[in-house]
Amino acid sequence: MKKLTVLVFLVLLCGCAVLTAATFRSQALISEKENRSLQAFPVLNRQTYLNGTFFKDLEAYIYDHVPLRERVLEYTALYDKIKGIEPEIMALEKGNSMNLVNPDGNTKAPKPEKEKKPEPEEKKEPGQEETPSLPLKPGQKAETDFSQYKTQTQNISIMAVKDTLLQLFHFHEENVSAYAKALNTFAAKMPENVRMYSLLAPTQVGLTGEEYKDFSDPQDKAIEYIYSLLNPRYETIEAFAPLFAHRQEYLYFRSDHHWTQLGAYYAAQAFARQAGLAMPDIADCERHSLENFLGYLYSNNQVSKVGQHPDRIDYYIYQGKNPEIECFFYDETETLNSYMQTVFSLSAVANGTNYGIFLSGDYPRLVYKNPESAGGRVLMVVKDSYANAFVPWLIHSFQKIIVIDPRTCKDNIYDLVVKEQVTDFVVLDYIMAADLESFIGMMQELAEGRRSSYVNQKRNPDFGV
């Protein structure tokens, strides 16, 4: 009898929660203050009830739609500003801030450098190399002992330096080895006539050299190590050196984990050189800008100094053309549908996703067709969202580009490779994704050609992927 009473009580309690949420159901879809989509009201059915996802999503829905939530966020940020006690350097753990003093006792932030304009690519003499010169080619021996680099702040994921949020990198050998294994699975299954590339992009803190070595593991060494584990079929793309050479330019957002399209440009140049492609010079492109961008890192941490100095999103249009791209998505019945959008999507910006200006955001599959290309080469890109600002630089170099997102794609990509006559295949991720277990799991399942059990899972708030 006692068990029955408890059961009835729990059922009534859950029912009240559902009725309350339904009664005060919010219609808001996007939080402009946090620059993200809000949790939708969950679907209640037998499956979602039994596996617990309904109650988990309901909790997230209530949190996202609590009355006056946006106003509370504004007052919190204002209170922090009035207090005036934010130090120049803070370490942030899971959205909570705490002061962090460098081992030498110096808490001063580095002097801000003036933003430099992109410089024209230098004409190098034969044999002349950019420094640092890395990584090794696939199969070559790389340094594997990271103990000398290992930071003592593994629980810290973000550092705020004045008006900039830096995403810290912590190396885990088992994770990056699993990432390499996923890429090698692609290589084992890919037709022999397809050229394969791997491009790992560093984050902003990776280009600071010794400055934050006590807080973030060296990304150049990690990239070198991952490349050394890859199947020799992969042509590894050296993006670190050109980004390092231009590090004083506006390559990364201060409030977001992504690179700017200028940062993506230097990486695209490195890819084009390796692949033997011609691509537009940035000097021949028309620059457009979106002001007042506050990105993913800010939305999760709300550091007032960052909020007071929003970013600017620049995008570059070549020859005045903004061509169409086909965006594939799954509807509520998991049926694959598509619609046409432009490469630079102002409608995505209107919907509140400013970084969505590039390729309209993340979709399971995107297809771009270039009828003017005479080269006949077809590129497939398996990627995280770093590729969104990268791909537009290549639309004039390929006859067709197919973009695959392992987080949501349910296709057998090898069938697509054959059907679309793919000639070039690149895996492009930023270094954080290569050390993130959930993302690596999605990559492995995609590489094995089976439908991903990870599909539609929520993103990791510490990494943005």
| 39/430: higher pLDDT | 430
Q: Residues 191-208: pLDDT tens digits?
A: 999 999 999 999 999 998
Q: Residues 266-305: pLDDT tens digits?
A: 999 999 999 999 999 999 999 999 999 999 999 888 888 8
Greatest mean pLDDT among 110-119, 168-177, 450-459 lies in 168-177
| 54/97: higher pLDDT | 54
Which two structure tokens, joined as six digits, stand for 30? 């996007």
| 52/381: higher pLDDT | 381
Q: What is the mean pLDDT of the chain?
A: 80
What confidence score (pLDDT) does residue 152 get? 53
Greatest mean pLDDT among 52-56, 98-102, 232-236 lies in 232-236
Q: Residues 335-393: pLDDT tens digits?
A: 999 999 999 998 888 777 789 999 999 999 999 999 887 679 999 999 999 999 999 99
My answer on whether omega of the bond before 118 falls inside 30° of 0, hence cis, is no
What confidence score (pLDDT) does residue 108 get? 35
What confidence score (pLDDT) does residue 38 get? 64
Residue 169 reports pLDDT greater than 60? yes
Residue with tokens 């080619």: 137
Q: Residues 115-162: pLDDT tens digits?
A: 555 555 444 443 343 444 454 556 555 665 655 555 555 667 898 888
The percent of residues above 90 in pLDDT, for the chain, comes to 54
What confidence score (pLDDT) does residue 224 get? 96
3-class secondary structure per residue, 99-139: ECCCCCCCCCCCCCCCCECCCCCCCCCCCCCCCCCCCCCCC
Greatest mean pLDDT among 16-20, 216-220, 350-354 lies in 216-220
Question: pLDDT band for position 462 (50/70/90)?
Answer: very low
Which two structure tokens, joined as six digits, stand for 80? 């922090």
Using CA atoms, how far apart are residues 305 and 159, in angstroms rounded to an integer? 13
What confidence score (pLDDT) does residue 19 get? 55
Q: Residue 253 belongs to what H/E stretch? A: none
Burial letters 25-53, b for 16+ CB under 10 A, else e:
ebeeeebebbbbebbeebeeeeebeeeee
What confidence score (pLDDT) does residue 372 get? 82
Instruction: Indicate the pTM of the whole model.
Output: 0.75
Q: Residue 465 belongs to what H/E stretch? A: none
What confidence score (pLDDT) does residue 453 get? 54
What confidence score (pLDDT) does residue 27 get? 55
Burial letters 70-102, b for 16+ CB under 10 A, else e:
eeeeeeebeebeeeeebbebbbbeeeebeebee
CA 28 to chain centre: 25
Q: Residues 85-126: pLDDT tens digits?
A: 455 666 665 444 433 333 333 333 334 345 555 555 444 443
Q: Which of 14-23, 106-115, 312-321, 455-464 has the lowest mean pLDDT?
A: 106-115
Q: What is the CA radius of gyration of the chain?
A: 23
> What integer is the mean pLDDT of 406-413?
94
250 three-state secondary structure: coil
Question: pLDDT band for position 215 (50/70/90)?
Answer: confident
What confidence score (pLDDT) does residue 183 get? 99
Contact 452, 439 (CB under 8 A): no
Question: pLDDT band for position 421 (50/70/90)?
Answer: very high
Residue 259 reports pLDDT greater than 90? yes
Q: Left (φ > 0), alpha (ψ -120 to 50) or beta: where does 162 sit? A: left
> What integer is the mean pLDDT of 177-199?
98
- Helices of type H across 326-400: 346-350, 387-390
What confidence score (pLDDT) does residue 434 get? 97
| 79/414: higher pLDDT | 414
What confidence score (pLDDT) does residue 124 get? 43
Reading across the β-sheet that carries 96-99, which strands appear in turn?
96-99, 89-93, 158-161, 164-167
What confidence score (pLDDT) does residue 92 get? 63
